[in-house]
Amino acid sequence: MSSRKIVSIVAGVAVLGVAVHLVAKESKKPKGKKPMSESKAADKGDLKKRLSPLQYEVTQCSATEPPFRNEFWNHKEAGIYVDVVSGEPLFSSLDKFDSGTGWPSFTKPLKPAQVVEKADKAHGMTRIEVRSKKGDSHLGHVFDDGPGPKGQRYCINSASLRFVPVARLAAEGYGEYVSLFPGSASVKEADAGAPIETVVFAGGCFWGMQEILRQIPGVTFTEVGYAGGRTANATYEAVKTGATGHAESVLVKYDPKRISFEKLLGYFFRMHDPTTPNRQGNDVGTQYRSAIFFKTEEQRVTALRVRAAVEKSGKWKGKIVTEIVAAGPFFRGETFHQDYLQRNPGGYTCHFLRE
């Protein structure tokens, strides 16, 4: 069994362990509630495929994840948190604080109208539940013991959120919130007119690719995620099934004054085997395909030229199967996967730079 598969199994066991600790949820339907329509049932079925088991239980069944053992309770990066189901913007890192409870806590929503409050009388107590307006996802509860001007604490489940860092706000359609972070490095970079360009590479497990790419002189930023798929708000649990069409990818920002795109592509074709369709090492599936998601026409032309040159060189015995396609939406991977080999030296990878 490959190391990659072992990691996946361990992650699955962890998710099951979390599910065991989910707080019991109300199962009785309110009186007079009509049966779920066929379309609604279909929507639920789609969500079960797209969300992780924990995300589904929290957002659709009003479960509660364990404190201190969730993705964002101690997360401090600048950006916004959106509904993992609908993508609607909900909270800002500027309003996040450490409540000591083990869950992400905020003093207020980005826009009050985006969060709906409902009375929750489950479990023998009365609380105020908060749900997203568009997605109707269960988020958590709001309490009157916060530090803000209004004294409120929005206690939110990490499983109901997806984080979008400042550097990705404009690219993912949340450009109106960039102005909230005038002191961030990415905003300063844009204001200074820095000639930074972006491309997205796919070539197998994104752990190993990111570790090589981040060390290349001229590369200024990397983050792992999912690209080239058919569904929105991609997650690892959904992508690993191969059903969404996404590829594990790495978004790369680079300074063309320090490294040309052609030279960057030289590294790309050396770090993985571009002749194995839908496979790298022991990792098999369309999510492990080789692809270049270009952002500009110049990148497209260069990629086509370099791919042809690599194939003509004879360094690879088989035919180069690397896709060259226009970049579409890129969905940032979970924090667990970011800089994985930096946090786990000696962890699984099948990537290395060939001569």
pLDDT for 90-109, tens place per residue? 999 999 999 999 999 999 99
Give the pLDDT of residue 187: 55
197 versus 30: the higher-pLDDT residue is: 197
Give the pLDDT of residue 185: 56
Please give the torsion angle defined by the CA atoms of residues 231, 232, 235 and 239, in that order, rounded to the nearest 10 degrees.
10
- The verdict on pTM exceeding 0.85 is no
Give the pLDDT of residue 184: 65
- Among residues 156, 164, 187, 205, which one is catalytic? 205
Please state the rounded mean pLDDT for residues 113-127.
93
What one-character DSSP code corresponds to residue 278?
A: T
Measured in Å, how far apart are the chain's first and last C-alpha atoms? 28
Please state the rounded mean pLDDT for residues 132-154.
93
Please state the rounded mean pLDDT for residues 200-221.
95
* Element housing 293 (H / E): strand 290-294
Give the pLDDT of residue 101: 95
Is residue 61 among the annotated active site residues?
no
For residues 43-65, one letter each, b for 16 or more C-beta atoms within 10 angstroms of the residue's C-beta and e for the rest, the string is: eeeebeebbbbbbbbbbbebbbb
Please state the rounded mean pLDDT for residues 139-166.
93
* Range picked from 47-51, 172-176, 304-308, 345-349 for highest mean pLDDT: 304-308
Give the pLDDT of residue 87: 92
Give the pLDDT of residue 64: 95
Angle, helices 206-213 vs 261-271, to 10°: value is 140
Q: How many residues does the chain have?
A: 355
Give the pLDDT of residue 49: 79
Query: Cα–Cα distance between 247 and 131 in angstroms, integer?
Result: 31
List domains and CATH numbers for the chain.
3-43+50-162 (2.170.150.20), 195-343 (3.30.1060.10)
Angle, helices 38-50 vs 53-61, to 10°: value is 140
Handedness of CA 244, 339, 157, 328 (dihedral sign): negative
30 versus 50: the higher-pLDDT residue is: 50
- Among residues 155, 202, 227, 310, which one is catalytic? 155
Give the pLDDT of residue 291: 97
